Structure formats: C-alpha cells, structure tokens
Structure 1
Amino acid sequence: MLDFNSVKLKHIALHKVGNKVQEEDLVLGEFELALEEGSNLQKGVMEYFLKPIKEGAMYHFWDESGDLNLNEMFGFARRLFANPFDEFMLQSQNMAKHLYGNSTHPRIKGGEFYVAYLEDCIVDGDVVDAIGLFKSENKERFLKVSDSENGQFELKQEEGVNIKKLDKGCLIVKSEEDKGFKVILKDSPQKSVEAQYWKESFLRLMAREDSYYHTQNYLQLCRGFVEDVFNEDHNVEKPQQIDLLNRSLKYFSEKDEFNVVEFENEVIEEPQVIDAFSDYKKDFKEKYEIPVYDEFNISSQAVKKSKKDFKSLIKLDGGKVQIAVKGNEQYIEKGFDNDKNMNYYIVYFHEEE
C-alpha cells in the first residue's frame, strides 16, 4: 500500500545527464532547486514524480556476488539516508555520475535527472523517508498565448515536459536495508534497451517476493499455459482459450488469497487439463527460475496491471471482425463451410442490446 497524501518534499536537485557514447555532456547541479512550499509548481512536480510510482512493482537492490556493498546505488542511498542534510547534494551528484556511466547504449536518450528527498511517505503501513529518482527524456511542443499591452494576443511555441508522462522513475524507501531497501519502480511495459538499462544496469534490482510478485507470476503462468499448451495445436478453440483466461482473471479479482487446489477445481476443472497445467507449471518454474507457490495473498494491484495482457477478443481476418468473449463460451460454435471454403462462428444469445 502506498499513500503519498502527506508526503513532504525536503530536498530536490536537478542534473543534466546525456548519452555518454554519443559524447553528450554530464552537467551537475551545484545547488538545490528552490520550490515554494504548497505552490502550484511544487504540487505539479510532486504529481509528476509520484503518481506513476503508485502503479509500480517493488524490488530490492542486489549484486550478483551476493555482497550488497558492491551495488553503487545501494551505497549512495545508504549514505544519504544516514545524513540527508549534509549528504544530499553530494550523493545526488554521485547518482547522476553513475547514471551517466551506464548511459552507454546509442538508443538511450539524455535528459533531466531529478533526485528528491521525501518525508512522511506511507509504504505498507509504515511512515518512512524515501529518495526519489526521476528522469525526463521526451519533450513535447506547447502553444503559449500571452497578452500584449495593446490588447493583441501573442502566440508562441515552446518545448517542455508533460507532467503526466514521466519517462523513468523509482522510489528508494528507507525500509528493509539489510535486504537492499524497498525500491518501487515505475511501471514500464517496454522491454527495450532504453527501458531495461534503468532497472538492470543503473539500479541493479531484483524482484521483492511479496503478494504483488507472486500474483504477477501466477497470472503470467496462466497466460503462458493457454498460449503454449491449451491452444489450437491441442484441439482447443479460441473461445475455450479465452474462457479459461477470463475465469482465471475472475478468480484472482474476486479472491483475497490464492489456493492452488481451489483454483484448479474452480477454474480449470477438467482432470486432464489440471494434469497438463501442473506439468507446465514445473517447466515454467525451471525456465524462468522464479518461485511459484501454492498459497499466497493476492495483490489487487497486480491483477489490475495484468488485465491488459489477458486478451478477450477473437480477431478474424486481420481484425476486420472481432468477437469479444466475456463468458458463456459454450454458446459459440466454430465450423467450416465447404461451399464458401471459409471458417465461420455461430453465436447463440437470448437477446440483443
């Protein structure tokens, strides 16, 4: 649970971080930014920083050697938490230098790098300090209208950052230091180099095993089972596939706790399909090297995020015709017309709306 309603912005710094291999500059700020407490500017900045973080997953800093002290960002954060008043500018500069050193792929965009120190964040019920790291890369064009003294309007084009579109961000929470701090990462649907360098090279994070993590893993397992096993290659038609995905999502949406026996009996139902699902689960755990537990608390946030990955549409002829399957898949029949040499669906229904 994240609650930023009472959060206080105590320190904020800005640095310009370019792409190192493109020979763009690193320009370090020497002084903190001055934002008036309670001003519209400060409120806009806080919305820009924190709103996207609420949808993010939680991680820990880590190092493949097992020694957390070898993770540079963990060290910078620990020193900043220990003495935020004296260490803020120095550690924010160290973080900017570290980011610049990891901006080595030609597709990585330069931009403004903000470091903020926040108090009174509520994370999982605890009131804690946090360090916010935010990067803006993409600029948009805006039209600005201003009045002149003689009553004639003046129109200008300006370039700036859309405060509703944060490119990259994370919140380092002063909690669980022995495990590598809680780190909340802004959700990014992209799997590109530009998105991954922030998480894997700059921050070096590993997933924190919590309800969000376990729920997300199991929903990914369900989707993978339908795509790889419960499919046309095994004589399972599209309506049946979508129905299983819908019932899986319905189970996770309505329950507070997951139980594998209950899930298999209520959602999968058929013994042969349950056996195939169990076999796939074993392969899934080995392939992705992630734990898949039989019981855990369900995260509504993870369910909400995963909904967009669960497709409920049957697309025909490149999407020219689409059938949305929300349930009652037994009322949809597929066939083949020999005269027309075409497939067809028959849909049965009680009334039209």
Structure 2
Amino acid sequence: MFKFDISKINKFVVHHVGNKGKGDGIIFSENQEDISNISSQIISLFQKSFVSEDKFNFSFEPNVDLNPVYNFVKKIFESSEEFHNQTMNISRYLYEQSTHASIKSGELCFTYFENSEYNGSKVNALLIFKSENKENILDVRNSEKGLFLETVSGISLSKIDKGCLILDLEMEKGYLIYLVNNLINNNVKYWNDDFLHILPLSDEYSLTKSYLSIVKETVKEICVDDKIEEINSLSSVINYFENNNVFKKNDFLEHLKNEEVKDSFLEKEKSSFSHGVDEFNISEKALKVHKKALKRIIKLDKNFEIIIKSDDVLIEKDSDEKGMFYKVYYKK
C-alpha cells in the first residue's frame, strides 16, 4: 500500500444520494461537529479499503478545467471553508449521473484531512466514499426490564463500496487520485467515468501493469486452443520483464516468437493508449503483484494440473486409445 498517515480528521459530512431515474432525491446534512467518536473507525476503514498503488488523474475533453468534480474539489483545497458547499455540489453532480436502474442509493461521505503525511511530505486530502450496502448489527439497549437486543442497520466498517482519495498534489495535471480496491479491476462506469472522469496516471507502475494485462489478454485469445503455446508465450513475457529494467517495444516484439500474438498485441495497444509507449522503466513492484495473473497452469481435469515455473520446460501434448496426455521433459 502507498504510505498515507492521517494525523487527524478535520471535517466530515454525510449526504444521502438517491437514484435520479427512480426519483429518490438527495438529503443534505450539516457538517458533523463532533467527529472524535468516529475518527478511529473512519481511519481504519480507509486503511482496509485502499491498498492498490494504481494512481489516477481527473480528466476531461478538451481540458481538465471543464471537469465538474475537479473544480468542486479545487475550491475545497483553495479554502477549507468551501468544504460544505462543494460537497453538496459534488453530491448533486453524482445524483445527475445516477440514472441507471442498477445504481443503488446510499450515503455519500466526505472527509477532509489537513497535513497528513504522504510519502514523507505533508499534504491535504479529500476522501469521498459511498456506502450502498448496509450492514446489520445487534445493538444492546437498556430498559426498565433490563437489557435487550435491537437490530440496527448502518454503514459497513469492513470495506468501502465506492470511493476515492484525492491528494492536493499535481493540480495542473488533475490531482493525484487513488481508488478503493474493488474499483481497480472492476471499472464501475458511472463512478469512474461518468462521475469522476478519471484516467490512469502514466507512471512506471501503471504502464508495467497495463502492458502485462494487454499481453495476457492477447495470449489468452490467440492461444485459446493451444495450452502449450499459451504457456510458452506467457513464460517468454515474464522472462522479458524479469530480466530487463526498461521496456523497449521493439526489443519486446523481437522477444515474442508468435507472429499472431505480436500483431494482436499491437492492435490492443492502439486501443488502450491514444499514443503508443515505445519505452518505460519496468516497475518491480507492479511486476511482483501482477505477474501472478499470468498463470502458467495446465489443468488436466479435476484431479491434476501442471504448474510451469520457468520458460525452459519442454512439454508435448498427444493422445492415444486411453485419452489425452502430456509428456514433460526435465533435468535432474
């Protein structure tokens, strides 16, 4: 996880944002004055919900200054006195995007931090998160007859459904943004695209992750009927990334042996990046995390599977009257 140490929560407010398509409406609240009794829970919830190193920026065409949420957030960072007014504006904007029938209503929470520590520097930050799935607990109450239990529904403290952390850094580029864990690999269009309008930051971590993902998708599609070729291609990819500090596209293409994989890879790269990247530093951290997704496993049936850990394994596939089989050659 990226290093972000919260010294204290300076401001907190929660509004209710419904589904506009269903006519749910919005309920606004005043800032919560006493936040001492919820500070530790909010901080703990934040720490459990933000793990990924992936960074994002606000974006918009033709320029980021036209992004509504960017402008609302900018006013908060310019003056914390704008916090309440701008959280209402952000809530209104989210409501306008909440038209699809599957979008749930929920509590939209805003937390403002001052002088928190991010990678060794002091920074102000805004945490926005929405709770859509309530959690029931049994609350113990006193009465004239003694104790009794009552079901209470509230915001889950186990994870954040949808949320982002916006750091007051790199304003001209659209600020530095982190997303909660479940939004990284499962793009929620109305939140990431329609509401926030964010794009991945093109740093070495995101580029390494993106190119590994593109190659994985390419190999899986091209080699769908040839498991051995899939294993060999994925092994070759991992070998290249592990043995080079810098990704150079021309060198990488020469490293790939399968011509179909090369051609498909270039097509997918064009659709993923408006401008192709010829060279970037390979992130060891991203490689360590995301190469796990490039599984080199041959599943035979429910009882057996072959795990390939290197790219110099010689394996053959054949069949006889008993069925399909693999030959694996190895060195002592």
Counting matched residue pairs gives 331
**Residues 160 and 205 of structure 1: CA distance in aligned 2, closer, same or farther (over 3 Å):** same
1: CA distance between counterparts of 2:149 and 2:10? 37
2: CA distance between counterparts of 1:7 and 1:254? 41
- Name 2:76's counterpart in structure 1: 80
TM-score, normalization: structure 2?
0.84
- Name 1:323's counterpart in structure 2: 306
Pairing 1:241–2:230 present: yes
SS at 1:141's partner residue? strand
SS at 2:51's partner residue? helix
Aligned residue identity for 1:136: S
**Residues 96 and 311 of structure 1: CA distance in aligned 2, closer, same or farther (over 3 Å):** same
Q: Where has structure 1 moved over 6 Å in runs of 4 or more? A: 145-150
**Residues 328 and 75 of structure 1: CA distance in aligned 2, closer, same or farther (over 3 Å):** closer
Pairing 1:13–2:13 present: yes
2: CA distance between counterparts of 1:203 and 1:328? 42
2: CA distance between counterparts of 1:74 and 1:196? 17
Gaps (5+ residues) in structure 1?
A: none
- Name 1:184's counterpart in structure 2: 178
The alpha carbon displacement at 1:210 in A equals 1.2
Query: For 1:293, which of 277, 281, 296 is the aligned residue?
Result: 277
The alpha carbon displacement at 1:172 in A equals 1.5
C-alpha contact (below 8 Å) 1:20/1:101 kept by paired residues: yes
C-alpha contact (below 8 Å) 1:218/1:292 kept by paired residues: no
TM-score, normalization: structure 1?
0.80
C-alpha contact (below 8 Å) 1:256/1:297 kept by paired residues: yes
- Name 1:4's counterpart in structure 2: 4
**Residues 350 and 122 of structure 1: CA distance in aligned 2, closer, same or farther (over 3 Å):** same
Give CA deviations for 1:43-79 in whole Å, capped at 9, x if unaligned. 2211212442331522221222x13332110110111
The alpha carbon displacement at 1:347 in A equals 4.3
Gaps (5+ residues) in structure 2?
A: none
Pairing 1:162–2:156 present: yes
Moved more, 176-185 or 281-290: 281-290
- Name 1:224's counterpart in structure 2: 217
Give CA deviations for 1:316-349 in whole Å, capped at 9, x if unaligned. 35x5543333236635432111x23x21224456
- Name 2:190's counterpart in structure 1: 197
Aligned residue identity for 1:228: E
2: CA distance between counterparts of 1:11 and 1:239? 57
Query: For 1:59, which of 56, 59, 62 is the aligned residue?
Result: 56
**Residues 67 and 244 of structure 1: CA distance in aligned 2, closer, same or farther (over 3 Å):** closer
2: CA distance between counterparts of 1:108 and 1:24? 11
1: CA distance between counterparts of 2:185 and 2:211? 20
Pairing 1:111–2:106 present: yes
How do 1:335-346 and structure 2 match up within 5 A?
A: 335-337=318-320, 339-340=321-322, 342-346=323-327
2: CA distance between counterparts of 1:296 and 1:92? 38
2: CA distance between counterparts of 1:232 and 1:54? 32
The alpha carbon displacement at 1:157 in A equals 4.1
The alpha carbon displacement at 1:23 in A equals 2.1
Moved more, 178-187 or 166-175: 178-187
- Name 1:280's counterpart in structure 2: 264
Pairing 1:175–2:159 present: no
Aligned residue identity for 1:313: I
**Residues 307 and 109 of structure 1: CA distance in aligned 2, closer, same or farther (over 3 Å):** farther
1: CA distance between counterparts of 2:235 and 2:171? 39
The alpha carbon displacement at 1:125 in A equals 5.2
The alpha carbon displacement at 1:189 in A equals 5.3
Q: What is the root-mean-square deviation of aligned Cα atoms in Å?
A: 3.3
Q: Percent identity among equivalent residues? A: 31
SS at 2:326's partner residue? strand
- Name 1:309's counterpart in structure 2: 293
How do 1:264-275 and structure 2 match up within 5 A?
A: 268=255, 272-273=257-258
SS at 1:54's partner residue? coil
The alpha carbon displacement at 1:225 in A equals 3.1
The alpha carbon displacement at 1:294 in A equals 3.5
Query: For 2:115, which of 104, 120, 138 is the aligned residue?
Result: 120
1: CA distance between counterparts of 2:66 and 2:46? 28
Give CA deviations for 1:230-265 in whole Å, capped at 9, x if unaligned. x266xxx42442243245346546765434466567
Pairing 1:98–2:77 present: no
**Residues 167 and 125 of structure 1: CA distance in aligned 2, closer, same or farther (over 3 Å):** same
1: CA distance between counterparts of 2:144 and 2:285? 52
